[in-house]
Copies of this chain bind each other. A is one copy, B any other.
Amino acid sequence: MKRHQVTIIDIAQKLNISKSTVSRALTGHPSVRSDTRQAVMELAQQMDYQRNMLAINLSSSQSKTIGIIVPEFVTSFFPIVIMGAQEIAAQVGYSVLISQSNETYETEVANAKVMLANRVDGVLISMTRETKNFEHFDVFKRKGIPLVFFNRVCHDIETPKVVVDDYEGAFKATEHLILLGKERIAHLAGPPSLYISRKRLEGYKDALRKHKRPILDDLIISYDLTLEKVKIYVKYLLDLPTPPDALFAVNDPTAIEAIKVIKEQGLSIPEQIAVVGFSNDYGSALIEPGLTTMAQPTREIGQVAAQLLLDQIHTDSSVWKPITRVLKTELIIRGSSQRN
A positions within 8 Å CB-CB of B: 1-5, 48, 50-55, 57-58, 61, 63, 73-74, 76, 79-80, 82-83, 86, 95-100, 113-114, 116-119, 139, 142-145, 256, 282-283, 286-288, 317-318
Contact = CB atoms under 8 A, between A and B. Distances in A.
Contacts of A113: 50
A74 B79 contact: yes
Given A119-B53, A142-B48, A283-B283, A86 B58 contact: no
Contacts of A117: 50-53
Contact of A282 (B52, B54, B83, B283): B283
Contact of A83 (B2, B48, B100): B100
Nearest to A114: B95
A98 B76 CA distance: 16
A124 to B, nearest CB: 14
Contact of A99 (B80, B86, B256): B86
19 contacts: A2-B144, A3-B61, A3-B143, A4-B144, A5-B116, A5-B119, A50-B116, A54-B119, A58-B58, A73-B83, A86-B99, A86-B100, A95-B97, A96-B98, A97-B97, A98-B98, A282-B282, A283-B286, A287-B288
A74 B80 contact: yes
A3 B287 CA distance: 49
A61 B80 CA distance: 33
Those 8 A-B pairs whose CB atoms lie nearest each other, nearest first: A288-B288, A3-B144, A50-B116, A286-B286, A73-B79, A286-B287, A1-B144, A1-B317
Contacts of A82: 73
Nearest to A146: B3
Contacts of A5: 116, 119, 143
A1 B313 CA distance: 11
A161 to B, nearest CB: 19
Given A53-B117, A73-B79, A73-B80, 17 more contacts: A1-B317, A1-B318, A2-B144, A3-B143, A5-B119, A52-B58, A54-B54, A54-B61, A54-B118, A74-B79, A74-B80, A76-B76, A95-B97, A95-B114, A96-B97, A282-B282, A283-B283
